[in-house]
A and B are shown apart, each in its own frame.
Chain A
Amino acid sequence: MRVDLSKGSCTSEPLNMEWANLYLGQRGLASKYLSEEVDPKCDALGPDNKLIFATGPLTGTMASTSARYSVITKGPLTGAIACSNSGGFFGAELKYAGWDMVIFEGKSDKPVYLLVQDDRAELRSAEHLWGKSAWEADDIIHATHQDPQMRVACIGRTAENGCLYAAVMNDRHRAAGRSGVGTVMASKNLKAVAVRGTQGIGNVDDADAFVTATNDGKAVLAENAVTGQGLPAYGTQVLMNVINGVGGLPARNMRDVGFKGAENISAEAMAEPRKSDGKPNLTTNGACFGCTIACGRISTVDPTHFSVKDKPQYHGSSGGLEYEAAWSLGADTGVDDLDAITYINFLCNEDGFDPISYGATVAAAMEMFEDGVITTKETGGIELRFGDAEAFVALTEQFVSGGEFSADLGLGSRRLTEKYGKPELSMTVKSQEFPAYDPRGIQGIGLNYATSNRGACHLRGYTIASEVLGIPVKTELNDTDGKAELVKAFQDATALVDSAGLCIFTTFAWGMDNIAPQIDAACEGDWSVENCLETGERIWNMERLFNEAAGFTADDDKLPKRLLEEAIKDGPTKGQVNRLGEMLPKYYEVRGWTPDGKIPDETRKRLSL
């Protein structure tokens, strides 16, 4: 479906199957559309940018983790291609309404939302929704249409206020979170997409083979220790103590590695009954659509905690802390108050902004405050010190309601630190904030961050699986040998998994030999392991070409000086820095790129680009 927001029209068009055969779906296929239709040099927040909601061929099917959809656009935080992936139930619903993809173009004069009910799609006025949080907008849309089974993806107030890392929220607590895809949605005056689909999916290529392949896949997930036991019981938060233990947990704007308070904000702490009401922070685990892993955390804040004491609307259960958010809101700001960061995480969901970028931006602001670069004059009167939970809660409440310091915080760490003359304090790649693994302690993830097409991100190539958890094979944390090949393999495989509509967490248990048969049974054409891997590589290179055309060069494949020069002060990884220089030339080589990181003609030709 193509929605021209300038004209107010919705039109149906067939999927380009020639491209689908080369780029599969979701991330890959939508990035192809974006590459063909959008000038990479355009203003990300101008009407020439497009915003694509895309499902994959397995989205909405009985394959495990079939919830995923992505939002693809040129990102305002990075200026690079942005693809943010989300679970929940919205993606499958879009597919059931009969749509693989929705391309939004232009800009509406007034706030609107897209209503999709099977074949029917129309733009409706969202003037009554503008200025509302994502949760309020979700409630109002459900009430308006008297349809509890409708699924809603929408933006909150931070996107409307121009925060450059605003998310698209769906199903209240699932997010296409990174790179500011929600900010692009706001720039188009598009508040929400509401979908009800009743047509289902009946065009699986080989239904019998598909049921067999997906059942085989589910059995593998159930039997694996990580996907069958660890993730359902502890969620991604199982990593907090593990990563801290190996000397890979950054803290306080990455000034330090290792955080004393880590265990207070870990999965184990979430399961501990609290004194006030005898309940643990964790209510239960919850699944996204079709997921047989069910790693999601559903949590409550202690109702007697200072942050929510007089706010009964936050006493119920909602999406709880995942590892990355617990790290950014916790270790990176030095705050080890589990209830405070659970509450702040609720606010991130309620008003739709990326907790990784937010926490890391606050951490940079805290370092500037402690260094005397900014004062209470800038922060709206808040003493912004590392480890101060009350200050952080007050700051976040001010941020969501557009208070004094919110415009600064909404810039993200790179622009914020530049504004106050301290760019070296920004812990970012391509202007996007790091997630929760320190590249000094863990070498390969540093190379992945530096070369990631959407800026610093663990979800482009999760080498932690190998470097820390030994999946599929253990590589040493501080080795640089072999990391170029490792990063490439993870990046390419991830691009393929995303493009299928599956969750990357399956790959703790699944290899491409588990995934390819599921795609092959669902889709026309040959989806062998080899073709899947080549498709992943093609997608990675296509994204790189978009960024190249947007003006990115090898100079942007870098890490902040702090991570290359300031050695870790103590702990098991003491003395280490990231040795990107040893890995990057090799990485370009294994990718078939020139020594200055350009994609030469023969590589383009090999990948049919």
Chain B
Amino acid sequence: MQKSLNIDPGKCTGCLQCEMACSYEHTGTFNPSRSYIKVFTFHHEGRFAPYTCTQCDEAWCMRACPVDAISVDMATGAKVVSDDKCVGCKVCTIACPFGTINYSQATGKVVKCDLCGGDPQCAAACPTAAITYVDADWTGYDRMMASASKSLPSAETTAG
């Protein structure tokens, strides 16, 4: 059973613990500029939005890569870049409709979310559960439950 990152922007406070956790996992440094997840602050709206790769099934990045450097991790479903194969041509960064695969000057390769091999550190570090790692078939579970709870009869009508 595969899992997906599930992001609820309404719960995000913009603290960037996820960015630090991601960079620490992948580079051994606390360095948001090398994080594969990014939190956007919309100041005038008073909103925060974490954003990263959705691991498309028909991944544009994977299709576009001329050297087959991006492959599927069969355990997690993540599209993973092989540093050995990647030549840094950046075609995938043009192909991705969401901007979530990017070139890294530090490595000369492209970088993207790899779900940390099945234990995504962004979700582990998030203090408000704005980022969770849930059953890939049930990313709507929480919203479904919230909607369902609204259809319940009130406590007074059910008591006795």
- A positions within 8 Å CB-CB of B: 60-62, 64, 89, 92, 96, 149, 172, 197-202, 204, 207, 211, 218, 222, 232, 283-292, 294, 298-300, 316-318
Q: Using Cβ atoms and an 8 Å threshold, which residues of chain A touch B15? A: 287-292, 294
Are A317 and B31 also in contact (CB < 8 A) when A289-B16, A290-B20, A294-B15 are?
A: no
CB neighbours (8 Å) of A198 from chain B are 31, 33-34, 105-106
- Considering the chains assembled together, what is the distance between the CA atoms of A289 and B35 in angstroms? 15
Closest to B127 in A: A292
Q: Which residues between 97 and 123 of chain B lie within 8 Å of chain A, taking CB atoms?
A: 105-106
Q: Which 5 residue pairs across A and B have the least CB separation, nearest first?
A: A200-B31, A316-B44, A317-B46, A283-B46, A200-B29
Q: Mark B28-51, 1 if CB is under 8 A from A, else 0.
A: 111111100000000111111000
| Given A289-B16, A318-B43, A318-B44, 18 new contacts (CB under 8 A) | A61-B30, A62-B21, A62-B30, A89-B16, A92-B32, A198-B31, A200-B30, A218-B127, A232-B13, A284-B48, A286-B13, A288-B15, A290-B15, A290-B16, A292-B15, A294-B127, A317-B43, A317-B46
Chain A residues closer than 8 Å to B125, beta-carbon distance? 62
**Interface SS majority for chain A:** loop
Contacts of B21 in A (CB 8 A): 62
Residues from chain A with a CB closer than 8 A to the CB of B20 are: 61-62, 290
Is residue B14 within 8 Å, beta carbon to beta carbon, of the partner chain?
Answer: yes
B30: chain A residues at CB < 8 Å are 60-62, 200-202, 204
Q: How far is the CA of A284 from the CA of B24 in the complex (A)?
A: 29
Contact residues in B for A64 (Cβ distance below 8 Å): 17, 127
Complex Cα spacing A519 to B46, Å: 33
Question: B47 to chain A: which residues have CB within 8 Å?
Answer: 284
Taking CB atoms, residues of chain B closer than 8 Å to A284 are 13, 46-48
* Assembled-state Cα–Cα distance A291/B43 (Å): 18
Q: In the bound complex, do residue A197 and residue B46 qualify as a contact, i.e. CB atoms below 8 Å apart?
A: no
- State the Cβ distance, A327 to closest chain B Cβ, in Å: 23
Query: Nearest chain-B residue to A289 (Cβ)?
Result: B16
**Could you tell me the distance in whole angstroms from the C-beta of B53 to the nearest C-beta in chain A?**
19
Using Cβ atoms and an 8 Å threshold, which residues of chain B touch A300?
A: 46
What would 21 A/B residue contacts be, using CB atoms closer than 8 Å? A62-B24, A62-B30, A64-B127, A96-B31, A149-B33, A199-B31, A200-B23, A200-B33, A201-B30, A284-B46, A286-B13, A286-B14, A286-B48, A287-B16, A294-B14, A294-B128, A316-B44, A316-B45, A316-B46, A317-B44, A317-B46
Q: How many residues on B have C-beta within 8 angstroms of the other chain's C-beta atoms?
A: 28
Q: How far is the CB of A438 from chain B (nearest CB, A)?
A: 32
Q: Which of B14, B17, B24, B33 contacts A96 (CB 8 A)?
A: B33
Residue among A61, A96, A232 with max Cβ neighbours from chain B (10 Å): A96
At the interface, yes or no: B27 with Cβ under 8 Å from chain A?
yes
Within the assembled complex, what's the spacing in Å between the Cα atoms of A47 and B66? Answer: 60
How far apart sit A211 and B20, CA to CA, in the bound complex (Å)?
12
Q: Is the CB of A202 within 8 A of B29?
A: yes
Report the Cα distance A204→B125, complex, angstroms. 18
Residues on B with beta carbons closer than 8 Å to the beta carbon of A285: 13
B117 to chain A, nearest CB (A): 18
When distances are taken between beta carbons in the complex, the residues of chain A under 8 Å from B24 are 62, 211
Question: A197 to B33, Cβ gap below 8 A?
Answer: yes
Cα–Cα, bound, A89→B46 (Å): 16
Q: In the bound complex, how far is the Cα of B47 from the Cα of A207, in angstroms?
A: 33
Q: In the docked arrangement, what's the CA distance between A288 and B45, Å?
A: 17
- Nearest CB of chain A from residue B17's CB, rounded to whole Å: 6
The chain A residue with its CB closest to the CB of B30 is A201
Residues on the A chain within 8 Å of B45, using CB: 283, 316-317
B80 to chain A, nearest CB (A): 22
Alpha-carbon gap, A232 to B17, bound state (A) = 16
Closest to A207 in B: B28
Which chain B positions have C-beta within 8 A of A299?
A: 46
Residue of A nearest to B23 (CB): A200
Q: Which residues of A contact B34 (CB under 8 A)?
A: 198, 200
- Distance A60 CA – B21 CA, assembled complex (angstroms): 12
Chain A residues with Cβ below 8 Å from B128 are 294
How far does the alpha carbon of A225 sit from the alpha carbon of B15 in the complex, in Å? 20
Chain B residues positioned under 8 Å from A149 (CB to CB): 33
A299 CA to B43 CA in the complex, in Å? 10
CB nearest neighbor in A for B28: A202
Given A300-B46, A317-B45, A318-B43, A290 contacting B33 (CB threshold 8 A): no
**Nearest-CB distance from A21 to chain B (Å)?**
23
> Which residue on B lies nearest to A204, using beta carbons?
B30
